[in-house]
Amino acid sequence: MSGKPTAIATLTVLTISLLATSAGAHPKLTSASPAADVSSKVSPTEIKLNFSEGVIAKFSGLALKDEAGTTITTGLPANDPQDPKRLVVQLPAPLKAGHYTVTWYAVSEDTHRVKGEYSFGVDR
Ligand SMILES: [Cu+2]
């Protein structure tokens, strides 16, 4: 019983300090390949997401779905060894013609989590 106000006070302090450190420090998706809202003639062999700051591959990833909503099998997310701001996901099989949705999430080096979604097309 007597522990409850203390717990709430601690939570408030934690929330305030989280808000203070998160200001302006969230990674943003700056570009992607295949690019958003672009159709290409060639099936991509990988999806590359470029962020404004370094992201941690093991806490980041994406779901790729076709226009019927079926999840497409992908490889595991990895950092580009040349660029810690880039997340790379291999596509083991060629994509059929159609529209695809990438639903991504990423955790930056400062442990902030962001997510988003975009679409691209393959027409052959
Ligand atoms: Cu942040």
Query: How do residues 66-119 score in pLDDT, each as one tens digit?
Result: 999 999 999 999 999 999 999 999 999 999 999 999 999 999 988 999 999 999
Kindly give the distance from the C-alpha atom of residue 28 to the centroid of ligand 1, in angstroms, as a whole number: 9
Kindly give the distance from the C-alpha atom of residue 107 to the centroid of ligand 1, in angstroms, as a whole number: 9
Closest by Cα among 120, 119, 62, 116 to 89 = 62
Give the number of other Cβ atoms within 10 Å of residue 104's Cβ: 23
d(CA 72, CA 2): 52
Domains of the chain: 26-122 (2.60.40.1220)
Kindly give the distance from the C-alpha atom of residue 29 to the centroid of ligand 1, in angstroms, as a whole number: 13
pTM of the model: 0.79
Kindly give the distance from the C-alpha atom of residue 77 to the centroid of ligand 1, in angstroms, as a whole number: 20
Span 37-71, pLDDT tens digits: 999 999 999 999 999 999 999 999 999 999 999 99
Kindly give the distance from the C-alpha atom of residue 56 to the centroid of ligand 1, in angstroms, as a whole number: 13
Kindly give the distance from the C-alpha atom of residue 73 to the centroid of ligand 1, in angstroms, as a whole number: 29
Kindly give the distance from the C-alpha atom of residue 33 to the centroid of ligand 1, in angstroms, as a whole number: 23
Q: What is the mean pLDDT of the chain?
A: 88
Token duo for residue 118: 């975009």
pLDDT of residue 15: 56
Contacts of 92 (CB under 8 A, 6+ apart): 73, 74, 75
Kindly give the distance from the C-alpha atom of residue 30 to the centroid of ligand 1, in angstroms, as a whole number: 15
Mean local confidence (pLDDT), 14-28: 61
State the pLDDT confidence band at 124, using cuts at 50, 70 and 90. confident
Q: How far is CA 32 from CA 35, 69, 109, in A?
A: 5, 21, 19
State the pLDDT confidence band at 26, using cuts at 50, 70 and 90. confident
Question: Helix, strand or coil for residue 113?
Answer: strand
Query: pLDDT over 90 for what percent of the chain?
Result: 76
Between 84 and 20, the higher pLDDT residue: 84
Query: pLDDT over 70 for what percent of the chain?
Result: 80
Kindly give the distance from the C-alpha atom of residue 112 to the centroid of ligand 1, in angstroms, as a whole number: 4
Token duo for residue 7: 């717990």
